[in-house]
Amino acid sequence: MIEYIFSPGSPKPRGPYTPAVRAGDFIYVAGQAVVGADVKAETRQILTNIRAVLEAAGASLADVVRCGVFLIDGDDFQSMNEAYAEMFGETRPARTTIVVAGLPLKDAKVEIDAIAYKPR
């Protein structure tokens, strides 16, 4: 069974997709991007949005098993990584970080998606 997850505090999708989908014990969170003052602020807000979506599904950042990070500028890696580490604390999900030419949200510096595992 597939369950579509929406969080009242999260931004509405800008396209024909769902913020998150639960399939069995896995929760797939769509890419989140925001425009902020800098990549650290964007990373914090994105992970706050992801946390809100996960909470709507009964999960938390501690349940994340994988993230995909898409950066516009590879020089922002260290700053993104610092904010990412702050938000996840001791949780260390698997992660891929890719430098991309652009993101759908103009002027965004980073986009992050996530997969969480939370048995029912």
Over the stretch 27-71, which tens digit does the pLDDT of each residue have?
A: 999 999 999 999 999 999 999 999 999 999 999 999 999 999 999
Q: Assess whether pLDDT exceeds 80 at residue 80.
A: yes
Name which of 37, 34, 46, 35 is nearest 88 in CA terms: 46
| Average pLDDT over every residue of 106-111 | 97
Order of strands, sheet of 64-71, starting from the edge strand that comes earlier in the sequence:
2-5, 20-23, 26-33, 110-117, 64-71, 94-99
Residue ranges covered by each domain of the chain: 2-117
Cα-Cα-Cα-Cα dihedral of 45, 50, 52, 55, to 10°?
Answer: -150
Comparing 12 with 83, the larger pLDDT belongs to 83
Strands 94-99 and 64-71: parallel
What is the value of pTM for the model shown? 0.95
Domain 2-117 bears CATH identifier 3.30.1330.40: yes
Percent of the chain residues topping a pLDDT of 90: 88
| Average pLDDT over every residue of 10-39 | 91
